[in-house]
Every structure is written in structure tokens, then in C-alpha cells.
Structure 1
Amino acid sequence: MTDFDHLLGQLSLDEKVSLLTGQDFWSLPAIPRIGLRSLVMSDGPVGVRGTGWAPDDPSIALPSPTALAASWDPELAAEAGRLLGQEARRKGVHVVLGPTVNLHRTPLNGRHFECYSEDPLLTAEIAVGFVRGVQELGVGTTVKHLVGNDFETERMTVDVTIGERALRELYLAPFERVAQAGGWGVMSAYNGVNGTSMAQNGRLQKEILKDEWGFDGVVVSDWRAARDTVGAALGGLDIAMPAMDNPWGAKLAEAVRSGAVPIEVIDDKVRRVLRLAARVGALGDAPAPSFTEVDGDAVAHRVASRSFVLARNTGVLPLEEKEQLRIAVIGALAQDARVLGGGSAQVAPPHVLSPLDGIRAAGFAEVQYAVGADPRPFLPAAQGPGWSGFHVDLGAYRFEVPTAAVRWLGDPPGGLPVDDITVLELTTTYTPDVAGEHVFAISGFGAFELTVGDQKLYQGSLHPPGTGRADLLLHPREQRFTITLPAGEPVGITLRQSFEPGTAHSAATTLGHRAPGPDEEGLIAEAVALAARCDVAVVVVGTTEQVESEGFDRTSLALPGRQDELVARVAAVNPRTVVVVNAGAPVLLPWSEDVAAVLLTWFPGQEAGAALAAVLTGAEEPGGRLPTTWPRRAEDCPVLEVTPRDGSLSYGEGIFIGYRGWRREPLYAFGSGLGYTTWTYDRMSVTAGEAVVTLTNTGWRAGREVVQIYLSAAQPGPVERPERWLAGFASVEAVPGETVSVRIPLPERAFQVWDDGWRTVPGGYEVIAAHAYDDIRRTVDIER
């Protein structure tokens, strides 16, 4: 065992403080004389980016966290975690900044896709599986964002008012579960809670997290969330990140020397950092844990197909007679798949299999494609036939990208020093197959120059002077230009981006293109005509990065653009219309009962198309169950408010979020989802500590069922409670005709409420075995 006190005794005050203060954007400093190497952190909810978001060093992209939670499978979450641990080890990363366990309090949250569920138990169990998987490979996790970061509006400064019961029973519950299961890190949120900024919230970070729960890991600030030297030091924060605008360093050392911060407080923080370093193999000569390498593509595929929720099916799926079917694939997102949410969860995957790619490779008799309706407010990155390739020149480093989009955050590509990069030049050659007016676009931030052939189409900046870096990253702008080009003649294209000295630690540059073609009405008409002459229409609809992203909340739950109209018109001419919903959070589906099938695929990661084809054809079963309720109308949602008033937002609904607070029939209930077989729940028995459910696969093929256990108080008591609440779950698999049993623990906490401490409410309870919240199969009455 490492003697941390012995190491502490070898460090000066300035060295101790340096270990608590980011030395750059992603890391803490090394102190070689005590055997301490630099601790490196990286964003990692769906893929490990590394210290740079570099297109020349791709990262496996898993489906969104909402998708992982839709699997209701903690072991699959552990498998995903092990893959990201493997990716972290490959990229030299010691700590992954994730998972995100803030709850789905409202579907308007712009970062909804990065969280797991509206239910704290489901959130906690998926998070524990993920954390266990990552940490098995000697890589740390930082469960985030403690606490109340359940929306994006004014998230840097807002104060969230949360009652103690809701705080304990809902919002803190996943953090508590992960801490007690051995998580190594927690990230502190930007916002305040009940009057105190989280970075200096001693009650939550010290008294509850560390003292009450016994958490022995580190608390790291969200990037630039620590703003007060003494307050953050005394409030339980251990690491302030990054180096930019950091209130610690020399200021913290001076606060210790002046007596404002006791040295014992600093020593406790340093012990935690040293303990983390020992755990991740960055201290001393302990060997890193060995592991068996897993196939990233296979894991990404498995998570995707297991997460897809078949919300409606009139019998059209699976498409088993695929060799005889003519398929119409419709929708801009069928070709330009949205596989990731916007913001810090993004990575550059090695490849992306779009829905169109997957369906074309599935063996159908014929597959034809039409755009139909395009919801993207920005032109998509240039790619595909007619383009010679996309070459990027940073001066001392050159590389290629698969599409005309270049992004990085942190270390630039090729390991170049930030100060050495003053110009990014993207060059390509385009040979149009259609003559006429071609539209080109620049999107991103910075100063640009675009030349097509011998014409300079633009020179200038897309943002006004003084725009902040966060706004630049999260709110890129676009400028479009039209130029007439003949068919068949190659034209050279150069896009140059200029950087001010020292600013090239981030880039987001895209060259967009649209060839001549029909207008919006013409595109829909083409798609409807195609659907009418095909056997099955697969329509892919969804959101865009300008709708679902970190940095802002959604203003509507409606699908953007004319996608609803597209679905309605296609369904009117083809009774076998399957709609694939490519969105990370609930959206309104006004046509849901007019189509043959609805498949919710979230943001499905790099293997999107392969997983979709497997599910559509029946090679795999859609395994997902909803982790969050989907509404018929936005106004039916229990909580929609995301706009603070006078800098504050009250969680006045208390514990009644999600299904706990639903008062009208939703479109799709929490826990719902159809497979390709049927199940009977034959019997259930309940003891003090568990429920045992026996069920039979009564369908025609093998399948998987998620058995959900809810509790309901038999009589109204002194404490108001939801109609019923999730108490446990487990999945079973069986072949046709097979009967299986599953044991689901019923922990004491499931019967408790927070009332100045955890208290079991005595009386009668109904234990409910269900296929979904609104699909009860068996009940047993018990007394507590």
C-alpha cells in the first residue's frame, strides 16, 4: 500500500497546490522525484477524445447515454465502460470525464441525450455498471455534474432551489450509489444549489459526499467552474480545472500562508490526488491492470441494437422476406446520420455507417433513396462522389479527413504547439455531375477565406468581435455563397482559416455544399412518389446539432423542418411505412398512429446503419425499453421550465418528475418497448428481500424481456408518494416455449423516504411486476 503521508512529507506547499491546479487544459503536473506522473483527463461519455479532438486520431463513438440506459442492462454498460477504458489506455488518458447522471427532469434540456433516465434507480444502476467497466482497466471516472445541472440555460451562474427530500430521493441518489460502489471521481457542476455555488458547496461536497457517504476519491471542478480561491478550497473541491482563469495555484498557496485555508485541508486534497494517481497507475512502479482487448465496432453495434426501442409495430417488422422487397429509404438523416449529440460529448469516429449504408448492405431486392425533407439548418459537409478528397495543411503537419469538416479541442492534430498554428488550409477538387447553381457554405468560428476556382467568394469573420470562446464553440455560424458551375469540369476549392496567436487550441471548420436540385416541395414530392412505388418505406427523421446540444436548451419538442409533413404524406401512400426516429431525447410524433412501425434509435453511434439493418430484418431483436416517458403533447410533461428568474430556478415540483409526475396518458410510457416475441408472467412470489418472477416466452422466436418491479403504497400515508415507483429490474432471455425465473432484490431503500434521515414508511405495499410502467402483469400485497 502506498504511504501517502510519507509522500506528502516530501512536498513543499507550492508543490502540493500545483497538484490541485490544472497545468493546462487537460492535465495535472508531474513530480518525478516522488514517482508521480502527470494525470491526464479527457471527455468520455460516448468515446474517449484524448487531449485533442483530432481528426487524425479517431475515437470509437458509442451510442448516446440515453441509448445505453434504454438497454436496461448494467452488464452491457460495464462492457461499454471496458471499451472506453481500453480507448483511454490507448490514448494515454488516466481519467474519463463521465458518466453524466443528472436526471431527465425535463425533455427540453439540451443535454438530455447525455444523461441516462428520468428515474434515479435506473440511472444509478447503469452508471455503476459503466463506472465498474472503466475502472476495471485502471482508468478513473468522474460521475457528473454534482448536482442540479439538469438544464443548460444560464447553467454557469444559475442557482437551483431544490427541497431536501427531492435532493436526496432523486438528484443525489445516483451520485450516492456510484460513490458507495467505489467510484474514483466526481465532477462539480457550474450552477449553485440552494444559494451556494457547487464548486464551493461544502454541505454537498464535504458533509454529504465525503463525510456521510465515505467517498475517498477526488472532486474536480467542471472546466472554469471554480471561481473563488478560499470558498472552493473550504467547500470540498479537490482539483480546479483547467489552467485558464484558475483561482488556485499561487493564490491558494498564499491563502494557506495567510491562514485563510488550513494546511490540513490541502493535505486531504493532495492525499486524494495521490490515491487517484495510484489507482490509475500514475504513481510509483505498480503495473497497470491487464485486460483482454475488445472489438470496439462489435461493442458499438451491440449497444446500438440493444438500445433501439420498437415503440409501435403493426406487424410489418421484422422484414424477413427482405430478398423480395423494394425499399424506399427517405430522409436527409438517413444519409447524413446524426450519431452523436452536440458539445463536449462529441468525438471523431473512425467511420460512420449511416442508415442508408446499412440498409443497402442488408440484401434487399432493391433500395432507392430520396431526401424528402432536410431539417439541417447548415449545409452538410462536402463528401461523396465528385470530390477528390479533403486535404488539411497546418503548415508543419498535413493530413486528410473523410469529409470537409475539421474539428479539434485541446491539443491540435499532429501534436503541434498551439502557438505554431496560424493558418488551417482545406483543399479539394470537385467535379460536378450537374450543371447550374451550386451552393457552398462556411460554418465555424474565426476568420475565413473561400476560393472556388478563380473566384474568391468570401473573406472575413463569421462572428462579431468580442464573441466569447464558449459561444464560439457551441454556437457556430454559417455563410452561404452561390456559384454557377458546368457539369464534368473539375474545379479547385480552398478554404483557409486564420488563427490569432495562441488561439488554435480549438477549431470547428466545415465546407458545406449543395448541388442544384428541387426546392423543399419538390424534395417531398420526389420522396412520396418513391414511397408509392416501393413495398416498404423507411423514413428517418430526427433532430440536428442546432436543436440538441450542450450549451442551450430546446425551445420545442417538435421535429425541426417539414419532417412531420414528410412522414404524413409518405404514410398516406404506403401502408408499410417504418419511421426511424434519430433523436437523443423525446420528440413529438403526431403521426405515430398512422404509420406501420416506429423505431426509436437515439443517437446510435458509429455502427448506426449496421445495427438498424440487423433490427429491421430480424437478425437481431430491438432490445430497448424507454428510460424516459415520451409525451403526446409538450404541455403534458410534468416539467418544462428551464428559464431562470432573477438568476434562480425552483424545482417546485419536488419528487414529481418523469412518470412520478405524469397526469395524462403519454404517447409511450416509461419502460415500454416491443420485441419480436411475446411473454406471459406466470407467477410472482415476494419475500422481505426479493421478488421472484416466473415467465414464459410464448412467441415464435427467441427473445429478451426486461422485468420491471414497481412498488405502490396500499393506502395514502403521512408522506405524499408517487402512484408507483421503480424498485428493481432484471432481464431474462428464453427460446420459444421456455419458462424462466428471475430474482430481483428489493432493498430497504425502496421502501424509504427522506425525512431528516432515511425512514421506512410502515404499512401495506403492492409489489408490481410489469412489462412497462403502464403494462402491469402480476401483483403481490405485502406489509412492512
Structure 2
Amino acid sequence: MRVAFKKNISILTFILCLHISFINGQNKIPQIQLEKNQTSSVYIEAKIDSIIAVLTLEEKIALTHAQSKFSTEGVSRLGIPEVWMSDGPLGVREEILWDDWGEANWTNDAITAFPALTCLAASFNPDLSGEYGFSLGEEARYREKDVLLGPGVNIYRTPFNGRNFEYLGEDPFLASTMVVPYVKGVQKNGVAACVKHFVLNNQEHLRDKINVEVSDRALHEIYLPAFKAAVQKGKVWSLMGAYNKFRGQYTTHHKILNKILKTDWGFDGVVISDWGSAHNTKEAALYGLDMEMGTGTDGLGVSKKDNYNYYYLANPFLEAIKKGELSEDLLDDKVRRILRLVYRTNLNPNRSLGKLNNKEHHEVARKVATEGIVLLKNEDNFFPIEDKKGVTIAVIGENATRNMTRGGGSSQLKPLFEISPLEGIKTRYKNATIIHTMGYESGASAYNAALPATLNQDSLYVKAIEVAKKADIVLFIGGLNKSYHQDTEGGDRKVFKLPFGQEKLLNGIYEVNKEVGFLLVTGNAVEMPWVSKTKGILQTWYLGSMAGHAIADIVSGDVNPSGKLPFSFPKKLKDNGAHSFGETSYPGDGVNQYYKEDILVGYRWFDTKKIVPQYAFGFGLSYTDFEISDVKVNQKKYANKDQIKVTFNVSNTGNREGAEVVQLYIGKHKSKVKRALKELKGFTKVYLEKGEQKTVTISIDASELAYYNTEVSDWSVEKGTYYLYVGNASNNIIKKIKFDLD
């Protein structure tokens, strides 16, 4: 009995010691939530240190990979919340089921659909980009999202890329300038922007297999600047990897790119994989991937392939650390970044509550749309069209009524409403008679599948010609749509010309009615041999919830168009730099792809090779006239640390108010390295009343004239003679000034 008693005493003592240790451990657990005055970076970093110290290895691992399609685990015992994400560079996506891509069919997840980012870029208005980002961030916050998966800043290299409509155009300076206020606007709401896709994801065809070979100069001068601006100037909190390879290694966990991002640029946020872009545990651990999403398609499945716990950063990472194959320090760095994200978002005590579908958001969407619509042609002042009795306007084309917020892949939306062009025109035009017919049909939109048309195309054609005969004016509303092999994720375009028999239909309409205006609804350039068959052309993009009202604003003249093209429209496909070198340049040989045009992307190619585009980068007409005059620079010679100040007058010499975008390009004369003829280095949008003149100054740091010097793997400013070009389009320069840089 005595022996048994002593044994029981020993057991009780051991249990008591464990209990005391547990209590002491609990007492060391830090307070997770912050007060409003505890949000300094120093305080938060100290807080993160204290949390990492009490996390188990398993709890750390759980933070680094998905638990559902759009969320990651928190730490429930400490009160660290989950992280919830949403697709949405153009609006917050509808709720998705936990483990597959099916819609959850909620009744309270409808949102404001904002215009595509090509339209935002076409506004050339950084302040408006900030309003766009803030409004979008408010909607994400109201929907209780912590990370908004956008904006996209991949460069427009080819008009075949299915996702160009999600991006900010062909020029790195324009994209860099527009992305910074967007990011800041989103993050003012305590929601992380997630700039994507890092990097060289410039096509959808074979995007998860293709290996991109590109020079260091093109990488740093063309494809990285917008990401760099988002990181260093926008202070973006998260960044998404890309699907493709670069020099043989997947970009989501890439040795070179990780050094550029986290060491050279000092990025302190979270790198999130694109959904399924992680491929290797060791590389993901070593080369910068912090949060792995979408690797499996059925998280509750029993197979190792599809279970969340068998993601590359899940159990395989855990086992590698336990075996000593990978350092726990690698994991701690990822956890630190994730906790930093959490304190910036869902543990931020100063976070707003957000707003959804309010009047202000609709007004921002409409303003972006009207400022982004580009007037490409206006023969005999075809636009604006007056609303008067006795005039019959025929609206012809599928895109007059087609929903453009559904489809397109991950950017698809569930807006509270979407005003079609036809509805907007009918609402605005009270006196004129509006008649409508479809003209052609393309089939419903579906992901990774081109569905056939269901209506008789010949009958639609005949009806359209009959309607055109009855009208005084025809508005043809066509272009592309969000279907497979059009403007959509998952597949590139197959042809450069207008699809679905539109050119034939347009020619037929022109035979019976010469008063034709084309409203081109696309996110991409198209071949335009039919320009002469129109009197007016408006590039209207994908405009979201307020599409129809914005289009009617421009067509009627209630708003004067001021948009400028953010990418070049080539006359034929081979005029585009990427396509001029054949299949090895685009789309690649199935394994590798070589960016043979190098740094000469977009207008840089057209300028340098002396190729005349259909419509140039930066081009856009107005209903009024402007004059740029008295262009001056503040010096004739500059040092590397000087600021180049360009001053000029802008006058509205027409009959109504309007806005002109003055563009400033600079080119190096007789450079010792290959250079484009000129590069965009500054722009400003000037609003003027009828007869008004303003004096404007654009300032550029001379150091911004640097090129990426591959001999030293750094930026170098070349001394010598430069030329400054001022105009209102890349091919419409009104003043050229010579200066020297010593």
C-alpha cells in the first residue's frame, strides 16, 4: 500500500507540474488585439515577435497554405483570425463554395462592377485611379475581405492576350503611375491590394507551362517597373506570383525574382501563389512564396494530391523542417509576413466598416468610364448625336445588350445591375426614335469552352440590313466579349479581325446607310480594315455597372471624351513587335518563348521601326480643339541629380469645355546601347473651359533617364545629347527640344 501511495504521489506531483507549466505558458501568451494607438510599425513588429515565440510548428505551417478556395487558417487558440481573399481587380467577386469553383448562391454578395483596367489606364488620370481603388476597397471591406486579388500590371505585349483588359496597357511608366494610387486607395480601407502576376505572364495560352526567355534589360525596363512602383511607392501589402516559368524556373518561387522583390526592393508583404502556381516544396520555402493557394481542386478529398494538408507548404514543408532539410527560420519569415498582413487588415483597430453599392461608387464607376472612352474617329463631327424629334437611330449589334460582367474567368462579377448600351441610350434619348436589332450572335460565355450560337445568323443579318435602311443614323455596337478565345482568362484570341461575321455585317449596313458610328466594346486592339465604312468610332472598353449610362453620356455629348489609348492599335498583326518574329516569339514552341522584340514593346516598336499604326499609343480625339504652345525647358544642360522642368501652355480653342492629356517623351540621341526612339516620362491631364488657357509644368528627375546596364547589373544614366518630345499622342509631337546631360 505504501509503495502504491508513493507512486500515486509521484503521478500527482507530475500532473501538478504540468498544470503549473501550462498556466505559466498561458500567462506568456500575448494580447493579440491592438488598441487604436498601438499601430506603429515598431509596436506591431514587437507584437509579432511575441506571437511567433508561442506558436507551435504546426500552427505556423497552417498559416502558410489554403484551408479553402479563398481562405487560410488562423490560430483559434490565440484569436488570430483567418485571412479571406477575393478575386476582383474590377469588382469583388461573388462568394464561391468552400472546395470548388461553384457559386455559393448568396443573396447579399452583389456589388458595383467597375470599368476594366484598360479603361482606367485610358483615363490617364492618377487621381481617378485613387478614387477607383478606394471605392473598390470599400466594397471589399464591406464584404469582409482581407485581400483583394488585384490590380494586374502585366504589360500589353500582344493583342492576343486574353487578359489584357485586366491590365494597365503597354507602357511601364503609365502602368507605374496608375497603379500606385489604386493600391493606396484600396489599402486605406484596411484591405490589402495584391498586385499581380509577378512576372512575365503576358499571355494565357500555355500560361502554366511556357518558359519565357527575355533579356535583363527588357525585364527591368519594361516588365518590372509597375511592380516596383506598387512595392516602393504604393507600399502594397501583398503580391501574387505567376503561372509561367522564367529561365527554366517557375516564377512563383524563383531565385532571381525573389531577390529582386524582397532584397533589392525591400518588399515586406506576403507573396501569394496564383491558384495552382506552386510546384515544389524546397523552391517555395527558399525562394519567397509565403502563402500557397489553389494547388488542389478538392480540399476535402482523401487523396494526397488534392488535400490542403498536402500542399507544398503544408505537410511536406513541415516534414522537411522536422528532418532538418529546411530551416525553421524560412517558415518564421513567412509567418512574420503573414502576421504583418493580418495586423494591417483584419486586426487593424482603425479599419473602416466599408460600403457597398452606394451612389458614390456608382458615380466613380461612371466617371472612370466616361474619362476612359476614347474617340478614335469623328468624320464630319458625327459625334455627338443630338437628341431631336424626327430622327431615327438604329442600334445594331449583340454587344448592345450582352452582359459583359459575367464570363472572363476570375474577373467575372455579380453586379447589382449592369446598364447595357441600349438601355443607356434609350434612357438618354427621349426625343429621337431608337430601334434595335441584334445583327449577329456569338453564343453564351463559358470558361475554357467556346459555345456555339443558337440563332440563325443569316436571319439576323437580313433583319439588321432592314433596320439600317429605316434609320437616319446607325450605331453599330460590336467588338469582342468575355467568351473563350476572346477577352478572357484561360485562353488567348485566335484571330485579329472582328469575330462572328461583324465585318460582313458592317459592310452590308454601309451599303444601305452611310451614317454609321461604331462603338467598339473590347479590351484589346482589333484589325480595322473597315474604318472607312464608318464616320465615327468610339473605343468603349468593358465598363461595368454604369456602362450604358457612360456610353450615352459620350454619344450625346453630355460628357466630352478625353480618353487616350493605353496601347497601340496595329494595322495588321505582323506590325506588332511580338508577332513580327513568328511563333518562337508568340505564342512559343510549346516549351519556350523568346521575347525577341526585347525592349521595343508597343509604341517603342512602332516608333523605332518606323511602322505606322492604325491608332497610336496616347491617341484620342475630343469634341473641342486644343493647342499646346510655348514649350520650354528650365535648362539646356543637366546633371544627374537635376530636375528637368518642362513648362508649356495648353489652350482650349474649341466651342466647349474639355480635357487634353499632354504627353512628354524623352529619347537618347546616338546611344551606345539599343534604345527606343523615345519613352514616355511624364503626362498630365488638363481640364479647360471654352477659351481657357493654363500654364502647366511637368517635372522629371534626370536620374529617371537611366537604362538598365547589364554590364553592372544596375541602372546607369548615359551622358550626352537627349531629345524631349511634347505632344498629345506618341505619333503627334508638336515640339522637339534638344538638351544635354553631363
> Alignment partner for residue 201 of structure 1, among 231, 248, 254?
254
Q: Which amino acid aligns with 1:16?
A: K
Q: Name the structure 2 match of 1:778.
A: 735
Q: Name the structure 2 match of 1:286.
A: 349
Alpha-carbon separation, structure 2, partners of 1:22 and 1:302: 37
Matched, 1:253 2:318: yes
Matched, 1:20 2:86: no
Q: Name the structure 1 match of 2:726.
A: 769
Q: Name the structure 2 match of 1:423.
A: none
Alpha-carbon separation, structure 2, partners of 1:646 and 1:638: 20
Alpha-carbon separation, structure 2, partners of 1:723 and 1:476: 41
Q: Name the structure 2 match of 1:438.
A: none
Alpha-carbon separation, structure 2, partners of 1:269 and 1:375: 50
Alpha-carbon separation, structure 1, partners of 2:61 and 2:449: 35
Further displaced range: 737-746 or 751-760 = 737-746
SS of residue matched to 1:142 = strand
Q: Name the structure 1 match of 2:428.
A: 362
> Alignment partner for residue 645 of structure 1, among 583, 589, 600?
589
CA distance 1:735–1:340, change in 2 (3 Å): farther
Alpha-carbon separation, structure 1, partners of 2:722 and 2:397: 49
SS of residue matched to 1:105 = coil
> Alignment partner for residue 184 of structure 1, among 219, 237, 244?
237
Q: Name the structure 2 match of 1:532.
A: 469
Matched, 1:112 2:164: yes
SS of residue matched to 1:615 = helix
Matched, 1:326 2:413: no
SS of residue matched to 2:183 = helix
Query: Cα deviation per residue 1:546-596 (whole Å; 9 max; x = unaligned)?
Result: 322111111111111211122222223323211000111011121112311
Query: Cα deviation per residue 1:349-379 (whole Å; 9 max; x = unaligned)?
Result: 111111111111112434343435314134x
Q: Name the structure 2 match of 1:704.
A: 659
> Alignment partner for residue 688 of structure 2, among 718, 734, 754?
734
TM-score, scaled relative to structure 1: 0.80
Q: Name the structure 2 match of 1:416.
A: none
SS of residue matched to 1:344 = helix
Q: How does 1:613-624 map to 2 (within 5 A)?
A: 613-624=552-563
Aligned 8 A contact 2:627 2:653 in 1: yes
What stretches of structure 1 of length at least 5 have no aligned partner?
A: 381-443, 445-472, 481-512
Alpha-carbon separation, structure 2, partners of 1:340 and 1:128: 28
> Alignment partner for residue 542 of structure 1, among 464, 470, 479?
479
Q: Which amino acid aligns with 1:699?
A: G
Alpha-carbon separation, structure 2, partners of 1:289 and 1:212: 33
Aligned 8 A contact 1:63 1:340 in 2: no
Cα offset for 1:227?
Answer: 1.7
Q: How does 1:208-227 map to 2 (within 5 A)?
A: 208-227=260-279
Q: Which has the higher strand share?
A: 1
> Alignment partner for residue 368 of structure 2, among 293, 303, 307?
303
Alpha-carbon separation, structure 1, partners of 2:279 and 2:577: 34
Query: Cα deviation per residue 1:382-413 (whole Å; 9 max; x = unaligned)?
Result: xxxxxxxxxxxxxxxxxxxxxxxxxxxxxxxx
Aligned 8 A contact 1:21 1:243 in 2: no
Alpha-carbon separation, structure 2, partners of 1:548 and 1:619: 29
CA distance 1:90–1:198, change in 2 (3 Å): same
The percent identity for this pair of structures is 34
Cα offset for 1:525?
Answer: 2.9
> Alignment partner for residue 415 of structure 2, among 341, 349, 358?
349
Further displaced range: 286-295 or 66-75 = 286-295
> Alignment partner for residue 126 of structure 2, among 74, 80, 90?
74
SS of residue matched to 2:411 = coil
Q: How does 1:367-378 map to 2 (within 5 A)?
A: 367-371=433-437, 373-378=439-444
Count, aligned residues: 651
Alpha-carbon separation, structure 1, partners of 2:212 and 2:295: 27
Q: Which amino acid aligns with 2:648?
A: V
Q: Name the structure 2 match of 1:86.
A: 138
Q: Which amino acid aligns with 1:738?
A: E
Aligned 8 A contact 1:340 1:603 in 2: no
Cα offset for 1:64?
Answer: 1.1
SS of residue matched to 2:409 = coil
Q: Name the structure 2 match of 1:150.
A: 202
Q: Name the structure 1 match of 2:99.
A: none
CA distance 1:364–1:597, change in 2 (3 Å): farther
Cα offset for 1:522?
Answer: 3.6
SS of residue matched to 1:743 = strand
Aligned 8 A contact 1:373 1:562 in 2: no
Matched, 1:597 2:641: no
SS of residue matched to 1:645 = coil
SS of residue matched to 1:727 = strand
Alpha-carbon separation, structure 1, partners of 2:240 and 2:372: 27
Cα offset for 1:240?
Answer: 0.7
> Alignment partner for residue 746 of structure 1, among 682, 693, 700?
700
Alpha-carbon separation, structure 2, partners of 1:188 and 1:264: 22
Q: Which amino acid aligns with 1:582?
A: V
Query: Cα deviation per residue 1:584-641 (whole Å; 9 max; x = unaligned)?
Result: 1011121112311000111121211111111111101122100000111122111134
What stretches of structure 2 of length at least 5 have no aligned partner?
A: 1-42, 97-102, 297-305, 580-584, 635-642
Cα offset for 1:474?
Answer: 2.7
Aligned 8 A contact 2:439 2:463 in 1: no
Q: Name the structure 1 match of 2:327.
A: 262
SS of residue matched to 2:435 = strand
Alpha-carbon separation, structure 2, partners of 1:253 and 1:113: 40
Cα offset for 1:343?
Answer: 0.7
Q: Which amino acid aligns with 1:157?
A: K
Further displaced range: 132-141 or 235-244 = 235-244
SS of residue matched to 1:631 = coil
Q: Name the structure 1 match of 2:448.
A: 474
Q: Name the structure 2 match of 1:426.
A: none
Aligned 8 A contact 1:226 1:232 in 2: yes
Q: Name the structure 2 match of 1:134.
A: 186
TM-score, scaled relative to structure 2: 0.85
SS of residue matched to 2:65 = coil
Alpha-carbon separation, structure 1, partners of 2:406 and 2:374: 18
CA distance 1:656–1:375, change in 2 (3 Å): farther
**RMSD of Structure 2 on Structure 1 (CA):** 1.9
Cα offset for 1:651?
Answer: 1.0
Q: Name the structure 2 match of 1:48.
A: 92
Q: Name the structure 1 match of 2:11.
A: none
Alpha-carbon separation, structure 2, partners of 1:535 and 1:477: 35
> Alignment partner for residue 630 of structure 1, among 557, 564, 569?
569
Bigger-Rg structure (1/2)? 2
SS of residue matched to 1:225 = coil
Cα offset for 1:191?
Answer: 1.0
Cα offset for 1:290?
Answer: 6.7
Alpha-carbon separation, structure 2, partners of 1:532 and 1:762: 64
Alpha-carbon separation, structure 1, partners of 2:644 and 2:55: 50
Matched, 1:685 2:632: yes
> Alignment partner for residue 525 of structure 2, among 575, 582, 586?
586
Cα offset for 1:341?
Answer: 6.0
Cα offset for 1:36?
Answer: 1.5
Q: Which amino acid aligns with 1:46?
A: L
Q: Name the structure 2 match of 1:722.
A: 676
Q: Which amino acid aligns with 2:209?
A: T
Alpha-carbon separation, structure 2, partners of 1:782 and 1:323: 58
Alpha-carbon separation, structure 1, partners of 2:450 and 2:650: 52
CA distance 1:372–1:49, change in 2 (3 Å): closer
Cα offset for 1:764?
Answer: 1.3
Further displaced range: 285-294 or 192-201 = 285-294
Q: Which has the higher helix share?
A: 2
Q: Name the structure 2 match of 1:10.
A: 54
CA distance 1:476–1:558, change in 2 (3 Å): closer
Which structure has more RCO (C-alpha within 8 Å, separation ≥ 6)?
1
Cα offset for 1:704?
Answer: 0.6
